Amino acid sequence: MVKFSKQLEAQLIPEWKRAFLDYCQLKKDIKKIKLLRKKAAETRNYDGDEHRSIFNIFGHTTDTVGDYFRTRTRSWITRARDPHVIQVRERGEDVYETELVQLFEEVDSEAAKAFFASLDGQLNQVNQFYRRKEAEFIQRGETLKEQMKILVSIRSFTSSSITPINKKKIESAEKIIRGAFVELYRALGLLRTYSSLNMVAFGKILKKFDKASSQHVGPVYLRTVERSYFNSSDKVVKLGDEVESMFIKYFTEDDRKKAMKFLRPKQIKDSHALTFFIGLFTGGFLALFVGYVILAHLSGIYTDPTHSGYIETVYPVFSVFVLLNLHVFLYGCNIFAWRNARINYSFIFEFAPNTELKYRDVFLMCSTLMMVVVGGMVAHLTLQAKGFSPLEINTIPASLLLVSISTISVTLLRHLEFIACYYIGGSFRRDDYGTCTHNKVYREMAYVVSFLPYYWRALQCLRRWIEEGDANHLGNLGKYVAAIFAVGTRLENEHLNNVGKFRAVKLVPLPFRELDAE
């Protein structure tokens, strides 16, 4: 059975972690009470043995000692059942203070005071945080209502022929407001989760205290927690119902089922089949890789100079897919690290909960693609060793290229330049490796290709500056324009075969005789 502390750690909202009840610290306080009671019990047992031996010496029976301890235990149990051992007072708004009406055992009285002082501080913190967040969300709700009224009035204007209103801007505004409604609805759900988790945590920790101290004060304190603001306020529930009804009315035309797909998307459950296939394809990739290394050594690719063309051509072609899979693998590692660190990356990157990829999904993609790529390399090498024509052999990387052409980085684009040269120029038909590795025109194409991503990003920054008016986008625009200029300078230096031409102007002094003539 999983401990509640682990369950709480797994379910709490990462951004609000410090605002939750500090369950682990309160458990440490209870552990101190346990240790104090254990030491006290050991001391009493030792004293009881001494008294028993003394009574036996002076002719007293051990029943006298037993009656003494039975009487003491009976009074202690009676006191433990008294519901007025503690009294929780409200000193102000969200400020609670617990008083010990009756003393606990002498050994753990101070520890109990420290525990309740810490528990009061946690309760006050939870109530204050909840009140702040509730006020923030209510304010956001009021703002959205006003924006929704404006949008509804604009919709009514667009239905008539009176106004010349830009429909694209209206659609953009509608999309933004819809997203704000979804975000607010989910935030309200998180606040309700915050309330319920803290309520359960208070109940659990009070049960642990009662068990450790042999008291019955948990129900007394828990009644105060139930009446406190974070558990008794219903404003969040009402606002959530209001947001839901407005979303259904204005964005899905009273189709509640369609609205719930936006407001409460279904979470994709993890499957053990994913883990099985990740292991299967990873094992297949490793086996094929070992097989390729053995075949390469048997073929003499790494030792025979006549095979240098194979390495110069085939490896750049297949490296595109290897680098792409490396990027996918590192992305999966990032997701795994973010999840273990309790970072809400889905919220940060605005991923849709029903479509986002989990780290195991990413690792499955990576292991599958790597197995296919290395399998293609084995097949390519095997067919070449059996004497198949270059046209037949080179259809393998061409097929892989068609599969993975959609996502490419700058480094991959430079390798794509080689692939384009290799296939478009017809080198794959005759294994003419020098065409793409030594030709100056094709070599310069790499820099032209690397220029494109910077150009696209510069245009995006320019568009966002025009639409949003944020000067930060101009700074990013300058960064990408500088990168474009650097690429162009490098290309021009290659063309002129003069590295220093753009860095400095060479000054040639005049001869002394010309100076004298002047």
Q: Got the DSSP string for 250-274?
A: HHSTT-HHHHHHHHSPPPPPP-HHH
**pLDDT at residue 502 greater than cutoff 50:** no
Query: Mean pLDDT, the chain, as a whole number?
Result: 76
CA distance 196 to 190: 10
Report the range out of 97-111, 173-187, 289-303 with the highest average pLDDT.
Answer: 173-187
CB 430 within 8 A of CB 309: no
CB 209 within 8 A of CB 217: yes
Nearest Cα neighbor of 202 from 121, 82, 85 is 121
Which 3-state string (H, E, C) describes 391-451? Answer: HHHCHHHHHHHHHCCCCCCHHHHHHHHHHHHHHHCCHHHHCCCHHHHCCHHHHHHHHHHHH
Cite the DSSP H helix spans in 12-61. 23-57
At what angle are helices 440-468 and 472-496 packed, to 10 degrees? 160
Q: What is the pLDDT of residue 29?
A: 87
- Residues 6 or more apart whose CB falls under 8 angstroms from that of 304 comprise none
Cite the DSSP H helix spans in 214-356. 218-227, 229-232, 235-251, 256-263, 272-299, 308-340, 345-348
Report the range out of 188-197, 268-277, 368-377 with the highest average pLDDT.
Answer: 188-197
CB 417 within 8 A of CB 423: no
Burial 349-378, CB ≥16 within 10 A → b, else e: eeeeeeebbbbbbbbbbbbbbbbbbbbbbb
CA distance 21 to 119: 9
The token pair that represents 217 in the structure block: 């004060």
Confidence of residue 194 (pLDDT cuts 50, 70, 90): very high
pLDDT (tens digit per residue) in 392-416:
777 777 777 666 655 474 445 555 5
- Residues 6 or more apart whose CB falls under 8 angstroms from that of 516 comprise none
**pLDDT at residue 70 greater than cutoff 50:** no
Bridge partners of 97, per DSSP, are 89
DSSP type of residue 326: H
**pLDDT at residue 277 greater than cutoff 80:** yes
Hunting for tokens 């974070």 — which residue is that?
230
DSSP type of residue 13: -
CB 110 within 8 A of CB 37: no
CB 102 within 8 A of CB 69: no
Confidence of residue 505 (pLDDT cuts 50, 70, 90): very low
Confidence of residue 513 (pLDDT cuts 50, 70, 90): very low
For the segment 30-49, the average pLDDT, to the nearest whole number, is 73
Backbone angles phi, psi at 90, to 5 degrees: -100, 110
Bridge partners of 98, per DSSP, are 88
Lowest mean pLDDT among 148-162, 209-223, 301-315: 301-315
Given CA atoms 250, 254, 256, 259 in this order, what sign does their dihedral have?
negative
Hunting for tokens 């162009």 — which residue is that?
488
DSSP type of residue 501: T
Instruction: Determine the straight-line distance between the first and last CA of the chain, rounded to whole angstroms.
Output: 101
pLDDT (tens digit per residue) in 302-329:
777 766 667 776 777 777 778 888 888 9
Q: What is the pLDDT of residue 231?
A: 93
CA distance 351 to 370: 26
Report CA 31 to chain centroid distance, whole Å. 34
